[in-house]
Structure 1
């Protein structure tokens, strides 16, 4: 079993690499789309987990599929008994373009930039979706790069995905910190040599089998406060 302990941070990172889906975007609203096509809203969460599983499987077998393609395929499975699967799938997929930010994100992003930290994203979803989310939320100016694995060799948590972000932002792994709500993403980043922060919005226990986060915070403002307490990178 992988150790879940992590040494204390000695300084702030230079660059924060933020995940997008669920970390910054509030995807609970997709449940409304499921209801609108006649499907129980609780199916939204297992659908998203299933599409990530399929994406990981494809990555492990040497493919780098488009997030939207995997999402649509997974929806076809969930909605297979609907009268008009294609129309229902289009309606749910369109919901990605209307998702809001989590309530803590705008203030948290401003607090992080106030510390002089560079911000970028690395999403398994498309850069277009992230750009739209940030424009609607009024935080696009805070991010120097909006990166997606669609331009990387593989999906996260493959090491090559994180290496792509580091190269694009011209930083070393030791100077970067991933920020995500997903323990699998934290684990992948740690395995690739980055530091990592876990945003624990639900209070659920962190999986003991995975590499532990260097910082655990309940929100982005909480993360900013924890990083502010550390010496700045020199």
Structure 2
């Protein structure tokens, strides 16, 4: 049986509502994607120097800067930031996640989570989905000074789970995460919900699936 380690942001969580909140305040909905990519960019850069902050703290700072360039907001930028981060804490999972994880654990596999965000946020996400009891470990980089895909992040997860890297399979929608996990010795599965081409700059995943339900079904 396999031990699957799942990324959380976007892999499990449907982040579409963040764009909805922004548009309700007069900002472009697509700013949500720009914001998330910018948070990752800055977190990765700070990780190289061993001083990555918490996801929410960095997220607040990045969104504040982005909103400073947006005209026509119906509220002060600080209030918009509060609403977006509030929505981040109440996101739902993608429709395939709960049945897929349930099927994986019913088949005897072990499932853990590993996030660049807060462990409490990841736990809340699967609690709301009704599958917290299906999760073995909820792991985060919040106690470290680096984020995935830094090698130390994956070493931390392996140590906390208490096994060898080769016994774990990282599952994510992000090629950069899977490339980092593969470099750390883990097996990898790419969840590709959109039918995209794999970016050739990254090491190819060991397997790919269109959803968690497809992963549980073996394809």
Structure 1 stretch 89-98 or stretch 77-86: which is displaced more? 77-86
Q: How does 1:51-200 map to 2 (within 5 A)?
A: 51-81=39-69, 82=73, 84-200=76-192
Given that 2:53 and 2:145 are in contact with CA atoms closer than 8 Å, whether structure 1 keeps it comes out as: no
SS in 1 for 2:218: helix
**Structure 2 unmatched ranges of 5 or more:** none
SS at match of 2:30: helix
- 1:9-28 aligned within 5 A: 13=2, 15-28=3-16
Q: Distance in 2 between matches of 1:71 and 1:36?
A: 19
2:210 corresponds in structure 1 to 218
Q: Name the residue aligned to 1:36.
A: 24
Is 1:206 matched with 2:198? yes
The Cα offsets for residues 93-140 of structure 1, whole Å up to 9 and x where unpaired, read as 101122111000010001110121111111001111111111111010
CA distance in structure 2 between the partners assigned to 1:27 and 1:207 by the alignment: 22
Over 3 Å off, 4+ runs: none
1:197–1:217 contact (8 Å) kept in structure 2: yes
Counterpart Cα distance in 1 of 2:80 and 2:57: 15
Partner of 1:230: none
Please give the alpha-carbon distance, in whole angstroms, between the structure 2 residues aligned to 1:140 and 1:63: 31
Equivalents in 2 of 1:217, 1:40: separation in Å? 31
Per the normalisation by structure 2, the TM-score is: 0.94
* 1:204-226 Cα deviation digits (max 9, x unpaired): 11110101110100000111122
Q: Secondary structure at the match of 1:99?
A: coil
Q: Distance in 1 between matches of 2:190 and 2:203?
A: 11
Q: Greater RCO between the two (CA within 8 Å, min separation 6)?
A: 1
Partner SS, residue 103 of structure 1:
coil
Instruction: Say whether the 8 Å CA contact 2:170–2:186 is kept in structure 1.
Output: yes
Contact 1:108 1:220 in 2 (8 A): yes
Number of positions where the alignment pairs a residue of Structure 1 with one of Structure 2: 215
For structure 1, the 5+ residue unaligned runs are 1-11, 228-234
**RMSD of the alignment, in Å?**
1.3
Displacement of 1:153: 4.5
